[in-house]
Amino acid sequence: MPDPFSDDPEFSALSRTQVLIAMGITAVILLVVSKLWLYFGAMSLLPVRWTLTDLAIGVGLGLGITAASSLLYQVWEAYRQSADYYLDMVLKPLVLPDLLWLGLLPGLSEELLFRGVMLPAFGYDTTAILFSSLCFGVLHLSSWRQWPYVLWATIIGGVLGVSAVWTNNLLVPMTAHVLTNFVSGCWWKWDAYRKAKQG
C-alpha cells in the first residue's frame, strides 16, 4: 500500500537545530501562557507533590502508555503511518542526548498547561478533562492526514487528565509524559537504526 504521506507538500525535513529550537520555543510559549493564565485567572495550579507512590504511579502509567502505543502501532496501519510521519519529522534529525530534551521540554510544559492550569480553570470534572484533552490532541496536529495520531494524543490527554484529577498531583502526568516521550523516542531511534542496518 502506498504511503499517503510520501508526497505530502506539508512535510519537509527539519534539521536538528530547527527541531530543538521549535521544542524550546513551544515550551516557552506554553510556560508563558500558563503563567499568564494563573496570574489573571482565579485559580491555583494543580499541586506538584514529590511522593514515591505518585512517582511510581507516573512511571507505571508512562510505561503502560508506551506499551499501548506500541501495540496500536503494530495493529493499526493508519496510526503507524501517521506516527511514522510525525516521528520521522521530529526524531530523525535528533541524536541520542537530544531525547532527554524531547522527554523533558514537552512533558513538563504541556502538562503544566493542559493538566496543571486547564483542569483547575475548568473545574476538575469530565468537561475539563475532555476539553484539555482535545486541546492537547490538536497541539500534535501538523497535517490533516495525521488524524490517527491526533486521536491517540487526545485519548492519552484524557488518561493523563484522569490521573491528575484522581491523584490531585501534577507529578503523575508529568512523570508519565516525560517517560513516554523519552522511551518512545529511544525505541523509535533504535528501530530506525535496526532497519537501516538490515536494508
- The CB density around residue 69, as the number of other CB atoms within 10 Å, is 18
Q: Which domain holds residue 72?
A: 16-198
Q: Kindly state whether residue 36 falls inside one of the protein's structural domains.
A: yes
Quick one: cell of 164?
A: 491528575
| Residue 5 within a domain | no
32-61: average pLDDT: 94
Please, which pLDDT band fits residue 3 given cuts at 50, 70 and 90?
A: very low
Confidence band (pLDDT; 50, 70, 90) for 101? very high
CA distance 47 to 168: 7
How many structural domains comprise the chain?
1
Considering the domain boundaries, does residue 60 fall inside one? yes
pLDDT in tens, 71-93: 999 999 999 888 888 788 888 88
pLDDT band at 12 (very low <50, low <70, confident <90, very high): low
| Position 192 in a domain | yes
Q: In degrees rounded to 5, what are phi and psi of residue 33?
A: -60, -45
Domain presence at residue 185:
yes
Q: How far apart are CA 82 and CA 84, in angstroms?
A: 6
What DSSP designation does 42 have?
A: S
Q: What is the pLDDT of residue 198?
A: 81
The candidate with the shortest Cα–Cα distance to 19, out of 91, 106, 86, 104, is 91
What confidence score (pLDDT) does residue 179 get?
A: 96
Whether 41 shows a pLDDT value over 70: the answer reads yes
The residue among 140, 120, 130, 127 whose CA lies nearest residue 48 is 120
What is the band of 5 on the pLDDT scale with cuts at 50, 70, 90? Answer: very low
Asked whether residue 6 carries a pLDDT value surpassing 80, the answer given is no
For residue 11, tell me if it sits in a domain.
Answer: no
Residue 132 in domain: yes
Instruction: Say yes or no to pLDDT of 2 above 60.
Output: no
